[in-house]
Amino acid sequence: MQTLYCFLIPIILLFICGIYCLLASFNLIRIIIGIEILIKAATLLIILCGYITGHMAAAQSIVITLIVIEVVFMIIAGGIVFWAFRHNETIDPRKLTNLKG
């Protein structure tokens, strides 16, 4: 049980850091980094749950799938940030007012 807390506390701290990065930032790159931190915390939590339940193979396959989805998300989000900076000369989401859609 003591080992469980040694792994659970850093995961909770990662979640808190990710949520803070999302809520307190007005920079699109920092928001993407916050999402990345949240995904890493979820990955660690899935591995911990797989270890506790004894289903490490299932946890590892879910984590590999999550990593692939994360990479695709990062590429698309990076492209959107690059486009926003190129057309608006800022990455502050409060100043992106001339979007169409």
3-state secondary structure of 90: coil
* 98/15: higher pLDDT: 15
Give Cα 16 distance to the centre of its chain: 12
Average pLDDT on 5-16 reads: 92
Dihedral sign, Cα of residue 59, residue 64, residue 65, residue 69: positive
Q: Express as a percent the part of the chain with pLDDT over 70.
A: 96
Task: Name the amino acid, one letter, at 87.
Answer: H
Other C-beta atoms closer than 10 Å to the C-beta of 21 total: 19
Residues 101, 89: Cα–Cα separation, whole Å: 19
Residue 92's pLDDT band (cuts 50, 70, 90): confident
- Average pLDDT of the chain is 90
Secondary structure class of 91 (helix, strand, coil): coil
Residue 89 token pair: 């000369």
What's the predicted TM-score (pTM) here? Answer: 0.86
- The 10s digit of each residue's pLDDT in 55-81 is 999 999 999 999 999 999 999 999 999
Asked whether the predicted pLDDT for residue 44 surpasses 70, the reply is yes
Structure-block tokens of residue 79: 């492209």
Q: Catalogue all structural domains in the chain, each as residue range(s) with its CATH number.
A: 2-88 (1.10.287.3510)
